[in-house]
Amino acid sequence: MELDPVADLPEIRPGDDIAELVADRASLESGDVLTVASTIVSKTEGRVANLEDYPVSGRAQEIADRIADVAGEEKDPRFAQAVLEESTELLIDCPFLLTETRFGHICVNAGIDRSNVPDHDILLLPKKPTESAERIRSRLVERGIEDVAVIVTDTCGRPFRHGQRGVALGWAGMPASRDWRGELDRDGHELGVTVQSVVDELSSAANLVTGEGAGGTPAVVVRDWEFGDHEGSDELFRAVEDDLVRQALRNWRFDD
């Protein structure tokens, strides 16, 4: 497996065609996987905003006040309002905001970015990252690159372990996971690993070569990797019924 960052992408603007910008700079081939950072997808989709666009609700003010009280940290209530508007559930409201975004991804601040935005205050995640991935993929197919997969990626933290790692927000041209159920090991025992989240692993791998900041490259081509002959699944985000940690968080409040 080989991962090559796509060099020399320009600053991305609303309406830019990511498929074209990438295909002009990398020799994409059938079977490749293209990972694209959500930041540039958001920029092409005009997902920027200013804090003044978010009139503060009572709930947002309450959140900002409590974080200031408990964590001693100033939180702009307009930012809290933006997070609420991008979310369907607030899992942690203090000392930081952990929410479920409208497309099912759980992350801090609904993934809203305050860096990476030249002319506005904030950059929102793509509204429907899987549709974004499908759009980029179909533009690549139109250019003659058949059988290509596209993953829209982000980085985020997680419970139990420090640090952030790359994750997938949306994908097209391949399933999210590879299913090993029923397959056997060398000794004929059924495997301990059951479902492997390949889109997340590909996003993590890509994040190792993208870099961040001024020298960052928001697109990576993965070559010589195969999904292989396995069942696939597109379920990536857990529902509450299926997630004991979410259930525990519903019954808990930060102790100040």
Q: How far is the CB of 144 from its own copies (least distance, A)?
A: 26
CB 195 within 8 A of CB 233: yes
Q: Which residues, in sequence order, are bridge partners of residue 156?
A: 165
Instruction: Compute the distance between CA of residue 195 and CA of residue 213 in angstroms, rounded to an integer.
Output: 34
Instruction: Compute the distance between CA of residue 107 and CA of residue 159 in angstroms, rounded to an integer.
Output: 11
Q: How far is the CB of 238 from its own copies (least distance, A)?
A: 6
Output 58 or 162, the one with its CB closest to its own copies. Answer: 162
Output 135 or 155, the one with its CB closest to its own copies. Answer: 155
Coil/strand/helix, residue 122: strand
Determine whether the annotation assigns residue 11 to a binding site. Answer: yes
Question: CA-based angle 228:178:248, to the nearest 5?
Answer: 170
Structure tokens at 50: 């200013």
Q: How far is the CB of 61 from its own copies (least distance, A)?
A: 22
Determine whether the annotation assigns residue 43 to a binding site. Answer: yes
Structure tokens at 184: 């056997």
Instruction: Compute the distance between CA of residue 13 and CA of residue 45 in angstroms, rounded to an integer.
Output: 9
Determine whether the annotation assigns residue 256 to a binding site. Answer: no
Output 136 or 198, the one with its CB closest to its own copies. Answer: 198
Q: How far is the CB of 59 from its own copies (least distance, A)?
A: 20
Structure tokens at 62: 């309450």
Determine whether the annotation assigns residue 136 to a binding site. Answer: no
Determine whether the annotation assigns residue 20 to a binding site. Answer: no
Question: CA-based angle 22:23:24, to the nearest 5?
Answer: 90
Coil/strand/helix, residue 173: coil
Amino acid letter at 7? A
DSSP letter for each residue of 127-153: SSHHHHHHHHHHHHHHTT--S-EEEEE
Determine whether the annotation assigns residue 12 to a binding site. Answer: yes
Q: How far is the CB of 57 from its own copies (least distance, A)?
A: 24
Determine whether the annotation assigns residue 157 to a binding site. Answer: no
Determine whether the annotation assigns residue 28 to a binding site. Answer: no
State phi, psi for 231 to the nearest 5 degrees: -65, 150
User: What is the DSSP secondary structure assignment for residue 158, as one 8-state letter?
Assistant: -
Output 127 or 165, the one with its CB closest to its own copies. Answer: 165
Q: How far is the CB of 45 from its own copies (least distance, A)?
A: 18
Output 122 or 172, the one with its CB closest to its own copies. Answer: 122
Output 142 or 250, the one with its CB closest to its own copies. Answer: 250
Which residue ranges make up the annotated binding site for a divalent metal cation? 113, 154-155, 212
Which residue ranges make up the annotated binding site for GTP? 9-12, 38-39, 43, 116, 210-217
Which residue ranges make up the annotated binding site? 9-12, 38-39, 43, 113, 116, 154-155, 210-217
